[in-house]
Amino acid sequence: MSRCPRTIPALLRAAADRQGDRPCLTVGPVRLDYSGVREAAGRFAGILATLGIQAGDRVAVISENRLEVLGLWLGCAWRGAVLVPLNTAARGAQLEHMLINAAPKVLVIEPELRERLEALTAVPEELERLLQLGDSSSRPWRSIPTSSFPEAADPVEPAPVRPGDTLALLYTSGTTGASKGVMCPHAQFAWWGEVVGGMLELGEEDTLYTCLPLFHTNALNAFAQALTHGAHLVVGPRFSASRFWERVAEAQATVTYLLGAMVTILSTREPSSFDRAHRVRVALAPATPAGIWGSFEQRFGVRIVEGHGMTETNAVIGPRDGEQRPGWMGRCMPGFDARVVDEDDEEVPADTPGELIMRAEHPFAFATGYWRMPEATVQAWRNLWFHSGDRVVRDADGYFRFLDRLHDAIRRRGENVSAWEVEQVLLHHPDVETAAVVPVPSELGEDDVMAFVVPSSGRTIDPVELVRSCEPRLAYFAIPRYVDVVAELPLTENGKVRKFLLRERGVTSTTWDRERAGVEVKR
How do beta strands 317-318 and 331-332 pair?
Answer: antiparallel
Amino acid at 227: L
Number of domains comprising the chain: 3
DSSP string, 332-368: EPTTEEEEEE-TTSPBPPTT--EEEEEEESSTTSS--
End residue of a domain, out of 407, 427, 462: 407
- For 439, half-sphere exposure in the C-beta direction (CA atoms, 13 angstrom radius) is 22
Q: What stretches of 230-364 show up as alpha helix (H) in DSSP?
A: 244-251, 260-268, 290-300
> Looking at residue 271, what DSSP letter applies?
P
Give the C-alpha distances (Å, rounded to integers) separating 453 from 235, 419, 459, 472, 485: 41, 13, 12, 19, 5
pLDDT, tens digit only, all 523 positions of the chain: 556 789 999 999 999 999 999 999 999 999 999 999 999 999 999 999 999 999 999 999 999 999 999 999 999 999 999 999 999 988 888 899 999 999 999 999 999 999 999 889 999 999 999 999 987 777 888 889 999 999 889 999 999 999 999 999 999 865 456 789 999 999 999 999 999 999 999 999 999 999 999 999 999 999 999 999 999 999 999 999 999 999 999 999 999 999 877 888 898 889 999 999 999 999 999 988 888 899 999 999 999 999 999 999 999 999 999 999 998 999 999 999 999 999 999 999 999 989 999 999 999 999 999 999 999 999 999 999 999 988 889 999 999 998 777 776 687 877 778 787 788 889 889 999 888 899 998 887 788 999 999 998 889 999 999 999 999 889 899 999 999 999 988 875 445 677 878 988 999 999 999 988 888 888 7
Q: What is the CATH number of the domain that holds 482?
A: 3.30.300.30
What pLDDT was estimated at residue 494?
46
- For 184, half-sphere exposure in the C-beta direction (CA atoms, 13 angstrom radius) is 34
The answer on 346 and 494 residing in a single domain is: no
The answer on 403 and 426 residing in a single domain is: no
The SS3 assignment for 65 reads: coil
Residue 38 lies in a domain: yes
The answer on 430 and 388 residing in a single domain is: no
What pLDDT was estimated at residue 402?
85
Amino acid at 244: F
The answer on 401 and 490 residing in a single domain is: no
The answer on 392 and 342 residing in a single domain is: yes
End residue of a domain, out of 367, 387, 407: 407
Contact 171, 87 (CB under 8 A): yes
Radius of gyration of the chain from Cα atoms?
A: 23
The answer on 45 and 132 residing in a single domain is: yes
CA distance 419 to 202: 38
The dihedral sign for the CA sequence 360, 362, 84, 237: negative
Backbone angles phi, psi at 296, to 5 degrees: -65, -50
The SS3 assignment for 312 reads: coil
Residue 175 lies in a domain: yes
Residue 238 lies in a domain: no
Q: What is the CATH number of the domain that holds 84?
A: 3.40.50.12780
Q: What is the CATH number of the domain that holds 347?
A: 2.30.38.10
The answer on 414 and 381 residing in a single domain is: no
CA distance 16 to 33: 8
The answer on 419 and 400 residing in a single domain is: no
What pLDDT was estimated at residue 317?
98
The answer on 421 and 385 residing in a single domain is: no
Give the C-alpha distances (Å, rounded to integers) separating 441 from 400, 448, 464, 510: 20, 6, 22, 17
End residue of a domain, out of 142, 160, 185: 185
The answer on 481 and 398 residing in a single domain is: no
| Beta carbons within 8 Å of 486's beta carbon, 6+ residues apart | 452, 453, 454
Backbone angles phi, psi at 354, to 5 degrees: -170, -175
Residue 213 lies in a domain: no
Task: Answer whether 0.75 is exceeded by the pTM.
Answer: yes
Residue 198 lies in a domain: no
CA 34 to chain centre: 26
Domain that holds residue 462: 409-513
Residue 102 lies in a domain: yes
The answer on 348 and 437 residing in a single domain is: no
Residue 353 lies in a domain: yes
The answer on 481 and 453 residing in a single domain is: yes
Q: Residue 37 pairs with which residues in a beta bridge?
A: none
* Number of Cβ within a 10 Å radius of residue 383: 11
Residue 46 lies in a domain: yes
